[in-house]
Amino acid sequence: AVHTPETNVDAKALEVAAIRAAGFQPSEKRYSDQQLTAADRIGNVDFLEFCERATGAPAFSFRKDGWGKIKAAISTQNLGSVLTNTANAILLQAFDNTDQTWRSVFKISTVNDFKTAERWRIDSNFQFKEVPEGGEMEHADVADQKFEIKAKMWGRQFALSEQAIVNGDALGVFGDILRQIAFGSNEAISKECWSLFMNPATCGDGVAFYHASHASLKTSCALTLDNLSAARAAFLTRTKSKVQTAALGIPPQLLVVPTSLEDKALMLTKATTLNNGSSADTPADYNPNAGRFRVVGAPSLELASFANYSASTWYLLADPNRLAAFESADDSSRPNADWHARYRVRRPYRFRRRARRL
């Protein structure tokens, strides 16, 4: 009896099998139990068998003329879509396993295209005032602050070698390449975000973003309990730029520190008791800053490749969803976390010299 692979399988089950062959585990949120079970029946597949199953071709047919079959399948059948869906699942899983501390600091939004988009922040005085009997309500003062943001296209391209495809190792190589692409994409975003965070542009008033006149900079301020408490108080009592009588009133929630200060920051914000300073072995009854902040350790803050890097500078920020200091946007016209595939299958040119192959 001759046993050949079953070719009429659900495309999602084939994606699961390919993800496993690439060295990843498929997400149970993305695929149903039925699809996962069907993938179990498929078992391990190499790249040529994957192509046969994706196109519904007879078993072993791609091994006779792999390059020709793949070129035809990419252009006329659903092999490209299955490869794309497989790559998207792998990329998303690999991307989620990267360091994404920048997400804690930046507000994440979307733009519709690559044009410069305007952002407006309302700086206003809506404090209620007493309404006299028979009188009218006083109009609130509203002032707008405009900011701009613009999306740019980023990317890299890669190729699978003929040897990997012919030898059946292409899915494993495919997975390794996609893993590196996910790491590289996050690295690019992280670099841009932390570069902006550490060295933002000059504000509209011609003064640096971090400046004493903006109540956003204090020098010679080591990370200690007293300095952290004082910085929190200064943050809360900052006044709105247009209405000097109204306090900001928004508590800081993020304590952003370089890696060298991360352990100290965690002790200052997590420990329930701290030394009160009166005696070396006498702790305070409690730590007032315990639970007030979420510590974000960012290695980039002390890397020499970034402007204004420092192993001792630390930052306090409000929750970016409440009051964002920085914003990162993606193009909403493209699906999130997708790779946008363009396929070109080309046989490498072989140089020949008479009967001798080089």
The DSSP H or E segment spanning 13 is helix 11-21
Q: In this structure, are residues 297 and 258 in contact, taking their beta carbons and an 8 Å threshold?
A: yes
Averaged pLDDT for residues 49-67: 74
CA angle 221, 227, 233 (to 5 degrees): 120
What confidence tier does 351 reach under pLDDT thresholds 50, 70, 90?
Answer: very low
**272 vs 230: which has the higher pLDDT:** 230
Write the DSSP symbol of residue 200: P
pTM: 0.71
- Res. 334: pLDDT tops 60: no
- Res. 340: pLDDT tops 90: no
pLDDT of the residue at 330:
78
Q: Convert the pLDDT of each residue in 145-158 to its tens digit.
A: 677 888 888 887 77
> What mean pLDDT is reported for the chain?
78
**184 vs 167: which has the higher pLDDT:** 184
What confidence tier does 238 reach under pLDDT thresholds 50, 70, 90?
Answer: confident
pLDDT of the residue at 279:
60
Averaged pLDDT for residues 213-240: 88
Q: Convert the pLDDT of each residue in 85-112 to its tens digit.
A: 888 888 888 888 888 899 999 988 888 8
Averaged pLDDT for residues 295-316: 94
Q: In this structure, are residues 268 and 289 in contact, taking their beta carbons and an 8 Å threshold?
A: yes
Q: Pairing state of beta strands 107-111 and 327-331?
A: parallel
294-297, strands of its sheet edge to edge = 294-297, 254-257, 315-317
What confidence tier does 341 reach under pLDDT thresholds 50, 70, 90?
Answer: very low
**181 vs 10: which has the higher pLDDT:** 181
pLDDT of the residue at 119:
75
The closest of 251, 236, 261 to 313, measured between CA atoms, is: 261
Dihedral (Cα; 61, 66, 68, 72), 10-degree rounding:
70
pLDDT of the residue at 298:
94
pLDDT of the residue at 27:
80
pLDDT of the residue at 357:
33
pLDDT of the residue at 68:
64
Averaged pLDDT for residues 121-135: 69
pLDDT of the residue at 33:
84
